[in-house]
């Protein structure tokens, strides 16, 4: 009985949390799509500078990581494929795992570490130093002012980063292919492209859009619900990272399952 009520309580808390995130996302969507028609101008400049921070500045580290991931995937799949003399299929294995799963996921995890945590810390610090209160007393909606540009930047940049991550991962695989498996660069790339269907790429990109929204919602929500004191900022940042990772995996599972049953693949 005790256990049942505990499980029930946890589930309700979880649903409540997701509801709060959805509310935040909904208000950001309102300010993005409807606000401009109701005299609340869209903050393009802030969105662009956020997009720079979230997207462009993440490129070097993202490139490096996904190149390595591609290389690792190639090595791991070659270990098994070699026994069947099917080393040619390395390109397919790498291309499929990158575009369908690892590209979006690794990108999301990296962005959580770089940007989701930064959102929570930035907004949390503003909360502690009464800057959020100051916005409200100036009749400026903190969601409009702070959260909406972040949503815009993240939902646009995460798919872009994911495409880049896919490309770098395939390049990492190609490095192995050229050095170890008698591929030329062009043949490896051609083999990768041939093995991919458009929907492999698009399902990954749809997921990455969902990841972007999840990460922003969690980061901003945790920031806005920061209590008083500097240590609370640290706590919300940690929570933002942990909850984002969990929810991204959950969203990944849900959408992967959805695509599996809808398309039969």
Partner 1 sequence: MEPGNQNTLQTDAMISLRDLHVQYGEREILHGINFDVQRGETLVILGGSGSGKSTLLRTLVGLEKPSHGQIWIRGRDIATISSSELDEIRKKVGMSFQGGALFGSMTVGENVALPLREHTRLEASTIEIIVRLKLDQVGLSGFEDYMPSQLSGGMKKRAAVARALAMDPEILFFDEPSAGLDPIIAAGIDELILELKKAFHMTIIVVTHELASAFLIADRMVLIDKGRVVAIGPTGEMRSSTHPRVRQFFDRVAEPAVEQELDYLQMLTEDHRHGSADVARTKGAS
The contact set with partner 1 (CB under 8 A) reads 125-126, 129-131, 133-134, 136-140, 228
Task: Give me the helix-helix angle, 90-97 and 59-81, nearest 10°.
Answer: 140
Residue with Cβ nearer partner 1 (49 or 202): 49
User: Nearest distance from residue 150's CB to partner 1, in Å?
Assistant: 13
Of 50 and 244, which CB lies nearer to partner 1 in the complex structure?
50
Instruction: Give me 48's structure tokens.
Output: 């662009």
Closest CA to 204 of 216, 212, 195, 215: 212
**Residue nearer to partner 1 on the CB measure, 12 or 140:** 140
Reduced to 3 states (helix: H, G, I; strand: E, B; else coil), residue 171 is: helix
Place of tokens 């591929």: 183
Q: Shortest gap between Cβ of 13 and partner 1 (angstroms)?
A: 17
Q: Rounded to an integer, what is the distance from CA 22 to the centroid of its chain?
A: 16
Shortest distance, CB of residue 228 to partner 1, whole angstroms?
Answer: 6
Q: Shortest distance, CB of residue 145 to partner 1, whole angstroms?
A: 8
Q: Which is nearer to partner 1, 101 or 131 (CB)?
A: 131
Q: From the CB of 38, what's the least distance to partner 1, in Å? A: 10
Minimum CB distance to partner 1 smaller for 125 or for 192: 125
- Picking from 120, 124, 151, 106, the residue whose alpha carbon sits closest to that of residue 245 is 106
Residues contacting residue 24 through CB under 8 Å, at least 6 positions apart:
143, 147, 217, 220, 221, 224
Q: 177: buried, middle or exposed (CB in 10 Å: 19+, 13-18, 0-12)?
A: buried
- The angle subtended at Cα 34 by Cα 29 and Cα 38, nearest 5°, is 135
Nearer to partner 1, 114 or 187 (CB): 114
Nearer to partner 1, 13 or 136 (CB): 136
Q: CA geometry: angle at 237 spanning 146 and 205, to 5°?
A: 70
Work out how close the CB of 126 gets to partner 1 at its nearest, in angstroms, rounded to a whole number: 8
Tell me the C-alpha distance between 34 and 30, whole Å: 5
Considering the complex, what minimum distance in angstroms separates the CB of residue 24 from partner 1? 16
């Amino acid at each position: 009985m005790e256990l049942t009520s505990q499980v029930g309580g946890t589930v309700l808390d979880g649903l409540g949390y997701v509801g709060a995130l959805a509310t935040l996302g909904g208000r950001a969507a309102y300010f993005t799509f409807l606000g401009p028609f109701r005299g609340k101008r869209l903050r393009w400049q802030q969105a662009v500078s956020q997009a720079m921070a979230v997207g462009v500045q993440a490129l070097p580290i993202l490139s490096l990581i996904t190149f390595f991931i591609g290389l690792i995937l190639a090595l791991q799949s070659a270990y098994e494929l070699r026994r069947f003399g099917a080393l040619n299929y390395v390109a397919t294995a790498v291309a499929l795992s990158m575009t369908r799963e690892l590209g979006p996921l690794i990108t999301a995890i990296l962005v959580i570490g770089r940007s989701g945590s930064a959102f929570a810390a930035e907004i949390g610090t503003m909360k502690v130093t009464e800057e959020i209160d100051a916005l409200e007393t100036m009749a400026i909606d903190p969601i409009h002012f702070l959260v909406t540009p972040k949503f815009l930047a993240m939902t646009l940049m995460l798919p872009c980063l994911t495409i880049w991550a896919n490309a770098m991962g395939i390049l990492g695989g190609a490095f192995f292919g050229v050095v170890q498996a008698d591929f030329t660069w062009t043949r490896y790339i051609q083999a990768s492209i041939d093995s991919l269907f458009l929907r492999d790429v698009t399902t990954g990109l749809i997921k990455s859009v969902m990841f972007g929204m999840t990460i922003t919602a969690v980061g901003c929500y945790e920031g806005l619900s920061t209590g008083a004191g500097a240590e609370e900022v640290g706590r919300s940042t940690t929570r933002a990272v942990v909850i984002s990772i969990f929810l991204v995996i959950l969203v990944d599972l849900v959408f992967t399952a959805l695509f599996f049953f809808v398309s039969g693949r």
